[in-house]
Amino acid sequence: MTSSRSSSAGSPHPYIPATAADRARMLERIGVADVDALFADLPATLRDPEIDLPPALTEPELIALLGARAAANADPLRPSFLGAGAYRRSVPAIVSHLTSRSEFSTAYTPYQPEISQGTLQSGFEFQSVVCELTGMDVANTGLYDVASATAEACLLAARVTKRQTVALLEPIHPGTVEVVRTYARGAGVRVDQLASIDDVSDAHACLVVQQPDYLGAIVDLEPLADAAHAHDALLVTVADPFALGLLRAPGDAGADIVTGEGRDLAGAPAFGGPSVGLFAARSRFLRQMPGRIVGRTRELHSREEGGQPRTGYVLTLQAREQFIRRERATSNVSTAQALIALAFTIAMQTLGPHGLRESAELCYQRAHDAARRIARMPGFAIPERGPWFQEFLVRGPVSPAQLTDQLATRGITAGLDVSARPEPEAANALLFAVTEATPDAHVDALIEALAEIGAEA
């Protein structure tokens, strides 16, 4: 590639780096006559296929079309009881106010720490919040989402235990399972999906358990930690950070690594993204962790006479192969979801420990009240799975597909159809989610609609 000065001299556009002469020299060096010859081995139908595109629109026409398409989206105020990993939360208003500031909305990985102190400080605060929530020693600045964070946890466990098999205890989110399998395949790691803790063996590097599990039940982590550790395996807990406002911290129950999803406390689900994956671990795994870790230090002496030594932030750990010897790299993750992590941090610090607990308790109470009302209705039942937090299974007088369709005709989005899952309690059931942000009027509308459906069945 030539410099911008030489490129602009020989090119009609200063931002095209290769001039015609540059391209001719490269083609000559590799021994082809022209660029078309590079693609001669591809069938002509694939090289330049006809694309059936409509005529171009004017800007006003395009705006009108996009407006019409947007209007077809579901009403955001429509009653919805979908959950299964993405939940609507009562996010403090200050979150969007602060994150919309220009210095945050353009945040990116800080390659020059000395001029990125604000970004680094927000990363440090995020790490601190995650450690306090999870009961772990160290946390990184975040990964892409909970699924990729869990996959990285499995690979970490395989490295430190020198074992090539990981175990996932069902029920666990199927999306997480698929991402773990994708990561594991490239690393030559086998993935076992277990129905019982009794199936953990000395071959397993770790046991992965979701808290609460995919069908909503609260898991007792301590016996699972004991079972995993009895086989010298690690316990990886995929925890809902909001539920941890009410539940015991996984670190206090024996977890070795904790992952989670921070998106819900940063704003609305937004069709599944963007996200921020939480990753926290015991200190002995510090140098095996993926991503980046921000550290805080202080000057030995103030630069100003009589002044106080200043606090400084720096990237303490970068485990990507771009920054250290390839054979010692733990991951190729470099990017931090800085803006979503910041929103999560602001929400958590605004709520504080007591506010988070109160919100989690409200969520628990609203969900259980809705479940009790449904259970009292003729033709409906709530399969028992022990203690649960915000999601519950519902069986009705009609099939899950019919119930979903009939609620949709009444302007209500039902829970997720989980009837194809292997767990007996999931048979013929929908998974409903009710959170602290679910209005009472939406629950009332659901009860009324279910009563009508039950009467018609």
Q: What is the pLDDT of residues 48-59, one digit of tens each?
A: 888 889 899 999
379 and 437 in a single domain? The answer is: yes
Q: What is the mean pLDDT of residues 234-244?
A: 97
- The predicted structure's pLDDT at residue 280: 97
- The predicted structure's pLDDT at residue 1: 39
Q: What is the mean pLDDT of residues 386-390?
A: 95
Structural domain total, the chain: 2
Please indicate whether residue 71 or residue 241 has the higher confidence score (pLDDT). Answer: 241
- The predicted structure's pLDDT at residue 113: 60
Q: Are 154 and 236 in contact (CB under 8 A)?
A: yes
360 and 318 in a single domain? The answer is: no
Q: What is the pTM of this model?
A: 0.83
Please indicate whether residue 365 or residue 333 has the higher confidence score (pLDDT). Answer: 365
Query: Which CATH number fits the domain that encloses residue 133?
Result: 3.40.640.10
249 and 341 in a single domain? The answer is: yes
Residue 8 confidence class, pLDDT cut points 50, 70, 90: very low
- The predicted structure's pLDDT at residue 111: 61
Q: What is the mean pLDDT of residues 191-216?
A: 96
Per-residue pLDDT tens over the stretch 274-327: 899 999 999 999 989 988 888 998 878 766 766 788 888 888 876 555 555 566
Q: Which DSSP helix (H) or strand (E) runs through 441?
A: helix 440-456
Examine residue 335 and state whether it is found in any structural domain, yes or no. Answer: yes
Domain containing residue 267: 93-347
CA distance 49 to 120: 47
pLDDT at 3 over 70: no
- The predicted structure's pLDDT at residue 308: 80
300 and 381 in a single domain? The answer is: no
Q: What is the mean pLDDT of residues 365-389?
A: 95
Examine residue 385 and state whether it is found in any structural domain, yes or no. Answer: yes
Q: What is the mean pLDDT of residues 395-418?
A: 95
Domain end call among 301, 328, 347: 347
- The predicted structure's pLDDT at residue 20: 84
Query: Which CATH number fits the domain that encloses residue 407?
Result: 3.90.1150.10
387 and 434 in a single domain? The answer is: yes
363 and 291 in a single domain? The answer is: no
Q: Which stretch of 62-66, 231-235, 304-308, 453-457 has the lowest confidence by average pLDDT?
A: 304-308
Q: What is the mean pLDDT of residues 137-151?
A: 94
Examine residue 213 and state whether it is found in any structural domain, yes or no. Answer: yes
